[in-house]
Amino acid sequence: MYINGMASIAAQTEEDLFAGDLKSFQQNIFPATIVNYKEYIKPMMLRRMSKAIKMGLVAAKQALNEAGVEVPDSIIVGTGEGCKQDTEKFLENILDENESFLTPTAFIQSTHNTVGGQIALDLKCTGYNMTYTQNSVSFESALIDAKLQFAEDPDTRCILVGGVDELAKTSTPFYNLDGQLKAGEINTTQILQSESGGTITSEGAAFFLLSEIRTQDSFAEISDCMIYREISEEKLQEEISWFLKKNDLKPEDLDAVILGNNGDKRFDHYYHQLQDTIFKNTLQLGYKNWVGDYNTVTAYACWLGAEILKRNEIPQQLKLNNLDVKQPKSILIYNQYLGKNHSLTLLRSL
């Protein structure tokens, strides 16, 4: 699948990423950057939208704009937790009003498929519209569906695929309760050296306009994507080698790997063992210490990898080792969360 347009909204801006001016945070939960949503969404529509919808719709429109496409044939969205802000609003209404006088807006917009629906309404796209919710492989599930759609339907020329998740004031801090987030004083730049469990979290949206046939606007290719619900550390290396082999590559052929290290000592060993073995001589990049970890952060990783291929430029602050690459051609993204939902996504330049 070829990428013809893409956009991302996260805790760091694209400008800061490539200018080497990424910012650190002192808390374990931090928001995405402020975007002037009014530039893209009419005020009467904007007033009801939670952050996930706003981020998703704007990233979708920017991706379409870059690709020069007004309406895609299909819309496929991955979201781990959907519209949490409206879910909270609706639940608060139930409590505040003693289960009566419930207004419809928050309920309507609390479902996971709201972002996909709102994008379709805005674009007046009546094509296939699907939302995947599968924890930290929600975005990858959407990617695989896009691949299947292209394979099964010859009339599908372009598909809008994205990942989006938002913070919410009550439910996001629940992650403190089961140790998913780091406790105590945090400086996000230090987390990858952390000796404790837990990570940091944030929010974001990244969307891609994909086509099966290369067009004049294509600038990178998503060659393959695999999901493993569970896999042992021993089997992981073997699976990665097999995954690369079926794409005519060996580990040493990769120009860079984008790894999901998030500072959680309990599970970062999945990355460390790859860093010390098959990817020892490959440029290693980490990003979660800058944009946080959330269910669809791999959509950001995919955007990051494609942006590196497009610019031929490596954001220096993301480097986990001292290797360098002048003209990256193949990039592998590997991710897991809490030792589950492992995913491999292969990007190639054109």
Amino acid at residue number 5? G
120 versus 318: smaller Cβ distance to another protein: 120
User: Which residue is listed with tokens 């998913």?
Assistant: 180
Instruction: Determine contact, residues 343/137, Cβ cutoff 8 Å.
Output: yes
CA distance 119 to 58: 9
108 versus 231: smaller Cβ distance to another protein: 108
Instruction: Determine contact, residues 77/164, Cβ cutoff 8 Å.
Output: yes
47 versus 124: smaller Cβ distance to another protein: 47
Q: What Rg do the C-alpha atoms of the chain give, in angstroms?
A: 20
Q: How far is the CB of 61 from another protein (least distance, A)?
A: 20
50 versus 296: smaller Cβ distance to another protein: 50
Q: How far is the CB of 43 from another protein (least distance, A)?
A: 7
99 versus 276: smaller Cβ distance to another protein: 99
Q: How far is the CB of 94 from another protein (least distance, A)?
A: 13
Q: How far is the CB of 87 from another protein (least distance, A)?
A: 17
C-beta atoms surrounding 48 within 10 Å: 13
Q: How far is the CB of 102 from another protein (least distance, A)?
A: 7
Structure letter (DSSP) for residue 23: P
Q: How far is the CB of 13 from another protein (least distance, A)?
A: 24
Query: Quick one: tokens of 204?
Result: 């974001």
Q: Which of 328, 315, 245 is nearest to 282 (CA)?
A: 328
101 versus 276: smaller Cβ distance to another protein: 101
Structure letter (DSSP) for residue 49: -
Instruction: Determine contact, residues 39/145, Cβ cutoff 8 Å.
Output: no
Residues lying near another protein in the complex (CB under 8 A): 43-44, 46-48, 97, 101-105, 108
Q: Helices (H) and strands (E) in the chain — how many of each? A: 11, 10
Q: Which of 272, 273, 265 is nearest to 286 (CA)?
A: 272
108 versus 130: smaller Cβ distance to another protein: 108
Q: How far is the CB of 90 from another protein (least distance, A)?
A: 13
